[in-house]
Structure 1
């Protein structure tokens, strides 16, 4: 065992030294690429070795950095003291530090004023420190050290430099924030968004609250343990699917009264369908945009969404344009929360504050909007109770048990 252990360490150092030699040659081989008409050495090596273009470009950037500015780092790679993964991190941290210091050159708000000589001194100290730390830390830890290196070497400019960096990042984030939708023609829409990091963190935190991460199946130590969960129907759901369902629940749960006004009223969804189809649970409803929804989905939305159901009779006469009594009042919601405490699907423990009020006898079948006809269900199980692929049964204790139709 000792021989294998020593061999692995020795081979790792040899591999690092060979890589360092390769990078030195790459840095000096621009003429090779030019002779065969390639843009750069990375392009030439990709063509000749059939390797990965992105990896070759990373190697070329590191080779140029070690050959031009970070020579101490290059020397450490040559001796095997720093391996390739560490070198990428150290080089990137030093490049970032150099950009920050360049932006601060000559700024009179700092005492003493940062000069080019002081900048070079700080960069030299930073390179020496990070190369030395490579003997004790891996790439992730080196990245963290590199991100905070200025606070150690030049604390009088670190706070202002960090503040400027954050302001620049926030302005950049606002400039590039985008959201696009693409209809895929199969009943779904692909939503792509690029948003500020803090917004994404807030969204993820909210969605994870909806997904009930405590109810996980499998051992958390297993690769799939934290990413799948079993619902009350026994169906195994991937984590990404649960996040998608949670996103839908979040949008459907928005309070329309807090939305921007359009023409004096909050944004409203109008669903049109025949009364007979709504009562029998067949056919489809149509939105004002021309999109169609199943009768089951219309009934589910009618439980909680701020929509106006435009229901027509057999002669297309308008029978009902919204009945506010279909919605449970805030007082009724509080009473349901006190009574049910959580989602009443068997085995589900989503708290009441995240649940939706459901009519046991559907509103479309003249079900009353009162406590005896109401039950709290989380968004996932609210979808299930309106899904014709599932049967549901009210248990003596008031819980709802689901089973897949055979």
Structure 2
């Protein structure tokens, strides 16, 4: 009688049991039984994963049999496994060979395969010069924590592992680890700004975590999490769009006089248009690189952004180079906030900290930067105030009312 290996016998039993359950409908399980089955399936999944990794770690001879580089290459060729996944699995199998406590916990189903990955990463991140007994204690500690925490939480706990297993060296090791992390983050930092050719620009980047946190904090000062301006269909804009608009507001409110000199002069954005276009609100204006923007957008930017509008006469001679003194001062903004309390649009309660200072009378038509001619509007309603497709009405109590114009009226309006 030919004997078979224990692993082969176990797999045959598993396969037969699964065959028996192929047509079984779980809908007939009681609620408590479903919960028990799900828990046991999680445990069995982890145990089978450990068995697979154990076999993979010892299967170099399988690869050599067909002249494959390693068992990962064999899996790709013979079982159509994706190459990155196959090689990642092989690395994990080899790492588990040197971590008997982790392997044993996975084999018992005490935690998932993802937990095991987190544990291995946490152990790899420990200093190389730790005593063997400290490393052994760290492995046991993480395996115990894995049975009580999600992988995400376990990852956070692993970053403070030394404080538990070796507090005497934790502070120095943590400082060194943070320095390495910062150096790596700075080396990975990159940013690209690409015009898409459709009026949009794609910004993609990787920055150090501290930079990302600072940017997120700044943008949150401009977003409106509680009183978000609704879209045309009545829905609250997605968070990603709120952040994009907040980024635009951040740039508009950046003081260009405090930026480094650029080309021998203070960093500025120059917008060019003719005087007739500026007054009539028709046509387009141009940025320095030739990018076109509407005159309505130019007027809106002039309320808050430190731009220089280069207004040209009939022969393209400069008639007026505006100054950023047209912007409301911090003291004026405080006075407007005390007076207005919130956005002055009808029915809008966005707080003043999220509002722009708006010129009631456009500066292109002789408007003044003073309290009598200024109001606070949230970003959404500030855009409406400079949108030619909307009719703006000043109510007796000082609030603004915005209504979309009829199409015929929009075409005829100056």
TM-score by length of 2: 0.82
Q: Which residue of 2 aligns with 1:266?
A: 266
Following superposition, the deviation at residue 286 of structure 1 comes to 1.8
Equivalent residue in structure 2 for 1:139, among 145, 151, 166? 151
Q: Which residue of 2 aligns with 1:338?
A: 338
Q: Is the 2:270–2:310 Cα contact (8 Å) retained in structure 1?
A: yes
State how far apart, in whole Å, the 2-side matches of 1:381 and 1:37 are.
69
CA 57–294 in structure 1, closer or farther in 2 if over 3 Å, else same: same
Following superposition, the deviation at residue 340 of structure 1 comes to 1.2
Q: Is the 1:178–1:193 Cα contact (8 Å) retained in structure 2?
A: yes
CA 368–235 in structure 1, closer or farther in 2 if over 3 Å, else same: farther
**Superposed counterparts of 1:3-402, under 5 Å:** 3-36=33-66, 38-67=68-97, 69-97=98-126, 100=127, 102=128, 105=129, 118=131, 120-215=132-227, 230=230, 234=234, 236-262=236-262, 265-322=265-322, 326-402=326-402
Following superposition, the deviation at residue 251 of structure 1 comes to 0.7
Secondary structure in 2 matching 1:309:
strand
CA RMSD of aligned residues (A): 2.6
Q: Is the 2:253–2:306 Cα contact (8 Å) retained in structure 1?
A: no
State how far apart, in whole Å, the 2-side matches of 1:345 and 1:34 are.
75
CA 398–234 in structure 1, closer or farther in 2 if over 3 Å, else same: farther
Q: Is the 1:232–1:346 Cα contact (8 Å) retained in structure 2?
A: no
Following superposition, the deviation at residue 240 of structure 1 comes to 0.1
Q: Is the 1:233–1:402 Cα contact (8 Å) retained in structure 2?
A: no
Q: Is the 1:232–1:401 Cα contact (8 Å) retained in structure 2?
A: no
State how far apart, in whole Å, the 1-side matches of 2:153 and 2:337 are.
47
How many residues are treated as equivalent by the alignment?
376
CA 63–403 in structure 1, closer or farther in 2 if over 3 Å, else same: farther
State how far apart, in whole Å, the 2-side matches of 1:270 and 1:145 are.
51
**Is the deviation greater in 348-357 or in 20-29?**
348-357
State how far apart, in whole Å, the 2-side matches of 1:128 and 1:392 are.
68
CA deviation string 1:357-402 (max 9, x = no partner): 2122211122233323211123333223222343333333322233
Secondary structure in 2 matching 1:368:
coil
Secondary structure in 1 matching 2:237:
strand
The runs of 5 or more residues in structure 2 that have no matched partner are 1-29, 407-414
CA deviation string 1:254-279 (max 9, x = no partner): 11221123466421222221111111
State how far apart, in whole Å, the 1-side matches of 2:33 and 2:309 are.
77
Q: Is the 1:231–1:348 Cα contact (8 Å) retained in structure 2?
A: no
The runs of 5 or more residues in structure 1 that have no matched partner are 106-113, 217-228
State how far apart, in whole Å, the 1-side matches of 2:95 and 2:79 are.
23
State how far apart, in whole Å, the 2-side matches of 1:39 and 1:124 are.
33
State how far apart, in whole Å, the 2-side matches of 1:263 and 1:135 are.
60
Following superposition, the deviation at residue 139 of structure 1 comes to 2.3
Following superposition, the deviation at residue 47 of structure 1 comes to 4.5
State how far apart, in whole Å, the 2-side matches of 1:136 and 1:322 are.
64
State how far apart, in whole Å, the 2-side matches of 1:271 and 1:13 are.
65
Following superposition, the deviation at residue 213 of structure 1 comes to 1.3
Larger Rg: 2
Following superposition, the deviation at residue 25 of structure 1 comes to 1.3
CA deviation string 1:93-150 (max 9, x = no partner): 12222xx2x1xx3xxxxxxxx5xxx2x2212122222223333333234323322221
Q: Which residue of 1 aligns with 2:24?
A: none
CA 262–138 in structure 1, closer or farther in 2 if over 3 Å, else same: closer
Secondary structure in 2 matching 1:384:
helix
CA deviation string 1:197-240 (max 9, x = no partner): 01111111111121121236xxxxxxxxxxxx636994531110
**Is the deviation greater in 343-352 or in 163-172?**
343-352
